[in-house]
Amino acid sequence: MKKLLLLFFTVAGFVSANAQDSCATAAPVTAGSTVTVPDIIGVYQLACNNVNGELTTGTPLGMWYSYTATVNGQVTLSSSLPQNVAPNSVDTRVSVFSGTCASLVCVGGSDDVSASNFLTTFTFDVLAGNTYYIQWDNRWDPAGFDFSVAFTPLTCFPVTTINNPSNLTTTSITLNWAAATLSPASYEVEYGPVGFTQGTGTTLTTSTNSITISGLTVATTYDYYIRSVCGSGNFSTWTAVDSFNTLFLCPYTSGLDTTPQLQGWTIATNGPGAQGLNSTGTAGQASTSGYWIFGSSTTTANNNWLFSPPFSLQANEAVTITFYHRASTSARTLRVTVGNSNTTAAQTTVLATVPIAVGTTWTQVTVPTFVAPAAGAYYFGFNDNSAATAAAVNMRLDSFSFTSVLGTNDYLTSKFSVYPNPANNVVNFSNDVNAVVSTVAMADLNGRVVKSATVNATEGNISISDLATGIYMMTITTDQGVAVKKIVKQ
């Protein structure tokens, strides 16, 4: 039976409040307490996290609490408590604000602990003297529940917001994150091959909230960690960050037989059907086990995604994809797409819509060739957008192959070697297709030609000793086309 909350009382650290139906009447909470939230009936403010959207029917409601920090640190709110079982709410959502009730500033928020635990845990930074406003809303359930308040004092705040990496290449990447609270003096980044033991990786230091890592291996997954450095011997805890991949190159194949063969692949679950790698079955296309499964829903349309690793493609590079598919008892539909990131919003180009026929026989499909409009990173998406099925059935994908043909100039560029690079005095060049070089020109990053030479040979060199330190584009004009190489002058 739901608790009747008619009085304000405190017993052994357990707090209940009854005037918290608006920000202006937010009930104060303290560290170490457990708070009982009555049925949610108060004034609602747009949720900070906005996870899973707002209510589409009914009136959004909220209940309000406040926390005033006496020292710097982090507060953790959690409704993931044993007592939160029906008839109490088992599905909660929280938002936290700073500022004033007349001018609230979003700090952040959270919804589900996991895919199976719909209660909430959220940690946020607090500064001494500031008041923070906490709203629990009725997005999923208006019933009351309990939540705990925990506090950890800190003199050095960890990184809490990771931004998307940038400048991704086959051998380098720029990692980005939001500055930690109180802007520490510097940051340490430790990275290593996926699964490496922290403390055994490579550690770099940066004075900004961004760092470029070079000397990486093509088509490789790395794990990395970040921590703040607030002074001599004063460090935050390490923030464990999702892995990143360097760019892949064509040709590339994956049999999806084991988890390591999924290196670089990512997924997005936007529908009810289950998905994942089957590595224990006996019905793979090219082996006794291993293939990708898109499960189906019997009630709503499916919309789940499997994204390829990121590929480094040159302008006009033509990519051909082949793979095998099958479905057992019900026809399905698969879209193949391409975009510049592994997000559903970026997958704007549809390469093919593939009907997945009923049967237990594997069928190979070749996707229409994709020609990259510009040099850069590209992800290919495999989207199960099938309608609901009468009974649950798996769509299976296996044995992916990505091959490509470069455009004329890109092909020629790949056949030229330039060395040393970086260089101090002289850059040598040669090729293995007997292309006769007529001229070589060095241009800065603004496109201005700063040096040129006439060659009339298949190999040679150009002096750069008189150029300023920096990056230059070396254009090699030949009887077979034009090759462009990036040169670093030390």
Residue 4 lies in a domain: no
First to last CA, the chain: 75
Residues 76 and 101 in one domain: yes
pLDDT for the residue numbered 210: 97
Average pLDDT, the chain: 88
| 133 and 106 within one domain | yes
Domain finish residue from 153, 175, 208: 153
Q: Please tell me the total count of domains within the chain.
A: 4
Which residue type occupies 139?
R
CB–CB of 379/343 below 8 Å?
no
Instruction: Please say which residue of 153, 174, 189 terminates a domain.
Output: 153
Domain boundary among 153, 182, 216: 153
Cβ atoms of 97 and 135 closer than 8 Å: yes
Largest CA distance in the chain: 94
Which phi and psi (to 5°) does residue 346 adopt? -85, -15
Whole-number Å distance between alpha carbons of 193 and 209:
22
Strands 186-193 and 252-254 turn out to be: unpaired
Model confidence at 51, in pLDDT bands (50, 70, 90)?
Answer: low
Q: Please tell me the predicted confidence (pLDDT) of residue 36.
A: 96
* Residue 29 belongs to a domain: yes
Provide the CATH number for the domain around residue 467: 2.60.40.3080
417 and 394 belong to one structural domain: no
- Report residue 197's pLDDT band, with 50, 70 and 90 as the boundaries: very high
Domain CATH code at residue 210: 2.60.40.10
If asked whether residues 363 and 424 sit together in one domain, one would say no
Percentage of the residues of the chain whose pLDDT score is greater than 90: 58
Task: Please report whether residue 250 resides in a domain.
Answer: no
13 has pLDDT over 60:
no
- Token pair of 234, please? 């004063």
pLDDT at 9 over 50: no
Structure tokens at 180: 């930690």
State yes or no: pLDDT of 449 exceeds 90: no
In a domain, 311, yes or no: yes
Q: What is the pLDDT of residue 329?
A: 77
The residue behind tokens 């093919």 is 352
Is the per-residue pLDDT at 321 higher than 60? yes
Q: Is the pLDDT of residue 450 over 50?
A: yes
**Per-residue pLDDT tens over the stretch 255-275:** 887 777 888 999 887 666 678
Mean pLDDT of the region 65-85: 98
| 368 is a domain residue | yes
Cβ proximity of 327 and 357 under 8 Å: yes
Amino acid residing at 182: L
- The number of C-alpha atoms within 13 Å of 262 and in the hemisphere containing its C-beta is 18
In whole angstroms, give the CA distance from residue 15 to residue 36.
6
Give the start-end residues of each E strand in 154-209: 162-166, 173-177, 186-193, 202-206
- With vertex at residue 379, the alpha carbon angle to CA 416 and CA 261, rounded to the nearest 5 degrees, is 90
Which pLDDT value is given to residue 238? 97
Q: Residue 130 is part of a domain; what is its CATH number? A: 2.60.120.380
Does some domain include residue 2? no
When pLDDT is averaged across residues 289-318 and rounded to a whole number, the result is 86
Q: Residue 128: is it exposed, middle or buried by C-beta count within 10 angstroms (0-12/13-18/19+)?
A: exposed
The answer to whether position 431 is within a domain reads yes
pLDDT at 105 over 60: yes
Q: Are residues 85 and 168 in the same domain?
A: no
Mean pLDDT of 437-441: 90
* DSSP string for residues in 236-294: -PPEEEEEEEPPB-SSEEE---SGGGGTT-EEEE-SSS-EEEE-S-S--SSSSS-EEEE
Q: DSSP label at 42?
A: B
Of 41, 44, 7, residue with least CA distance to 144: 41
Phi-psi region of 140 (alpha: psi -120 to 50; beta: other; left: phi over 0): alpha
CA distances for 169 relative to 11, 244, 249, 334, angstroms: 59, 11, 10, 29
Same domain (yes/no): 113, 84:
yes
- Considering the domain architecture, whether residues 386 and 420 belong to the same structural domain is answered as no
Domain that holds residue 22: 9-153
Both tokens of 104, joined, read: 């609230």
